[in-house]
Structure 1
Amino acid sequence: MYNFKVKSIIHDYEVAFIDNTKEVLKNELKEGDFIIIDNKIKELYKDELNDTLASFQHIGIDAAEPKKSYQGAMPVIQYLIENGFRKNHRLIAIGGGITQDVTAFMASILYRGVDWYFFPTSLLAQGDSCIGSKTSINFNEYKNLVGGFYPPNKIFINPDFLNTLSDAELKSGLGEMLHYFIVSSEEDFRRFKKDYPQALVDKKVLAGIIARSLEIKKSYIEIDEFDKKERQVFNYGHSFGHAIESLTNYRIPHGIAVSYGMDMSNFVSVKLGYIPQQVRNEVRELVEKIWEGTTITDIELNKFTSALSKDKKNIGKQLGLILNKGYGKIFKDLRPMDDEFVSWLQEYFDTQLQPQFA
């Protein structure tokens, strides 16, 4: 299928699309490897994974946001050390983004760095976070503020894991991947918009979107792995989205929060004259389908502006917003949190959260 290699300053790594996880695990794992697995995946796929889990040491984690923290990682690290994990051994992560973040963070600091493999099981992880090298954990209520860059050595993507995802999880993954297609080009955006309905029900169509999403991301991370310049455009929708996630206590899934965030970014971009309303409407028609059935009207404006002010992309007192000048023309814009900007946010929450295209 769609196999490729990602070049990294830390170490190059391989991505392989597979259709038999059990067989790949049997061929790839060796003595001393230690599996970190999402408890939900462990239960859902016990028939496929039981033989492997019986043969190798493993620890199951409850993949919720509190686990993605120092406090959540500490008992896992202690268990690894107490049960014989050494620098020449490897960590094998099986799960979604939280399992990935916890494992990557531990792999980067244990013995100053150990090898790790990743079997992503969520659409968010398969179509986005599995490549890019980032390791992120939360600090108290602040999302993804602690971490570094430490890619897996191999990534194995099996779309069959997506068969057990809920519609909300599929929409969240598609919402996250959408921002790559808008960053890339109008052609990629229109392809995504056309394929979106079928991707919810046809795994072949979905696999094509995953592969294209990773292809777009790869082209940026290979020139800006450490997120200093070009790659920052991939935070499109994320400053607003992270604030929405934290202020709803993660009731709004990540990719759905990012979909709201992209619309907010486009709203501000219209206010600044960067894009015509038509471009915002074209994207809005799609993101409304992604966030359908959710609401963020309970968010208080003062808490939202406070969360925005702590975003890691900010510079000094300037907000590091990723705004839109058109398809393929997403860019970083430093803006003050002044009265005009706050009034736009107020207008958005007051007037823009009802369906516009029913």
Structure 2
Amino acid sequence: MYNFTVKSVIHDYSVTFIEDTQATLLAELKEGDVIIIDNKIKELYKETLQPVLDKFRHIGIDAHESVKSYQGVEPIMQYLIENGFRKNHRLVAIGGGITQDATAFIASIMYRGVKWYFFPTSLLAQGDSCIGSKTSINFNKFKNQVGGFYPPNQIFINLEFLNTLSDAELKSGLGEMTHYYVVSGEEDFARLKREYAAALTDKQVLAGIINRSLEIKKGYIERDEFDQNERLVFNYGHSFGHAIESLTNYRIPHGIAVSYGMDMANFVSVKLGYISEETRLYIRELLSQIWAGTSISDIELDKFLVALSKDKKNVGKTLGLILNKGIGKIFRDMRPADDEFVGWMKEYFETQLTEAETV
């Protein structure tokens, strides 16, 4: 399978594709380690995980966005402190992105930093967030506004966890990975368009797509781990996408929201003369497969613009948008939220969503 090491200023960490989660956990865990596990995963994979959970201390969490907050991590930290967790002990996260974010945030601040391992169970986490070092929690209703950089020490990927994902969850993961393929270039994006349908049902095809997604991301984060320069392009689709998530109360899964966001970024890019309508529609052919069956027509434009104005990539009143000058030519563009921009957003919401939702 695919195995590699990510170089980090904080500490290098390995990614290993595995086939036996139980055996790996029993081999890696030591006395004093504590598992933080999504309760849904704990129940779905009880036969695999119970022998491990019987042997090691664990904390079950309901992996909702509310866990990714000061209020959400407080009881976890209280349990750790009250039950003898020490700096030489390790946290082991088993779950998706919410479990990852909560565990990473706690690991980064407990005793000024403890080691942690990650067993990602969602496609979003396996194909994207497991590497990159970011820790993020929400502040009130604003997504990912608090956090830092603190990578796991080891990551173990088992595609068997994807067997219980819904179609929407698989599409969300593929939607998130799509932005890496657009950033990478024509060849990679053409591959994803070609293999997208097969990836929904064929684990071997999906494994290749996950690995390539991580390869693309790895190259950027090793040059710009702290998201100051080149890596900023990976926010492509995310400014718009995060606004969609928050305004639909996370009804729209993250990667699907990002697929809408990429289309919005491309729409603005056409208005600015950066790309042709033909290029936008070429990318939209894939994006429309990802968002098919969802609707964001209930979002009010005024509220959307307010949410967009609070994006952490903005500078003052200027929007820090990631736009498109062609596949493989994604870049950061500081745009004023002026009447012209508002007009473009109004046009998008009035003319593009009906079409989008009937694809």
Give the TM-score band, short-chain normalised.
over 0.9
- Counterpart of 1:198 in structure 2 is 198
- Counterpart of 2:34 in structure 1 is 34
Amino acid at match of 1:145: Q
Decide whether the 8 Å contact of 1:245 with 1:253 is kept in 2.
Answer: yes
- Counterpart of 2:170 in structure 1 is 170
Pairing 1:157–2:157 present? yes
Cα distance in 2 between the residues matched to 1:206 and 1:250: 25
Cα distance in 2 between the residues matched to 1:349 and 1:63: 31
- Counterpart of 2:73 in structure 1 is 73
Give the deviation of 1:317 after TM superposition. Answer: 1.2
Pairing 1:58–2:49 present? no
Taking the TM superposition and a 5 Å limit, the aligned residue runs for 1:307-326 are 307-326=307-326
TM-score by length of 2: 0.99
Taking the TM superposition and a 5 Å limit, the aligned residue runs for 1:280-299 are 280-299=280-299
Give the deviation of 1:316 after TM superposition. Answer: 1.4
Cα distance in 1 between the residues matched to 2:293 and 2:104: 33
Amino acid at match of 2:135: T
- Counterpart of 1:119 in structure 2 is 119
Amino acid at match of 2:290: I
Cα distance in 1 between the residues matched to 2:21 and 2:70: 30
- Counterpart of 1:272 in structure 2 is 272
Which stretch has the larger CA shift, 347-356 or 8-17?
A: 347-356
Cα distance in 2 between the residues matched to 1:152 and 1:300: 39
- The count of residues paired between Structure 1 and Structure 2 equals 358
TM-score by length of 1: 0.99
Give the deviation of 1:354 after TM superposition. Answer: 2.3
Amino acid at match of 2:154: K
- Counterpart of 2:133 in structure 1 is 133
Q: Following TM superposition, where does structure 1 have runs of at least 4 consecutive aligned residues deviating by more than 4 angstroms?
A: none
Cα distance in 2 between the residues matched to 1:41 and 1:115: 22
Amino acid at match of 1:265: A
Pairing 1:220–2:196 present? no
Structure 2 residue runs without a partner (length 5+):
none
- Counterpart of 1:349 in structure 2 is 349
Structure 1 residue runs without a partner (length 5+):
none
Report the RMSD for the aligned CA atoms in angstroms.
0.8
Pairing 1:108–2:108 present? yes
Give the deviation of 1:52 after TM superposition. Answer: 0.4
Cα distance in 2 between the residues matched to 1:202 and 1:354: 31
Cα distance in 2 between the residues matched to 1:300 and 1:353: 12
Amino acid at match of 2:49: L
Q: Residues 267-316 of structure 1, C-alpha deviation per residue, up to 9 Å, x if partnerless? A: 00000000000110011111111011110011111111111111000011
Task: State the secondary structure of the residue aligned to 1:299.
Answer: coil
Cα distance in 1 between the residues matched to 2:184 and 2:285: 19
Amino acid at match of 1:149: F
- Counterpart of 1:144 in structure 2 is 144
Cα distance in 2 between the residues matched to 1:185 and 1:66: 36
Decide whether the 8 Å contact of 1:288 with 1:355 is kept in 2.
Answer: no
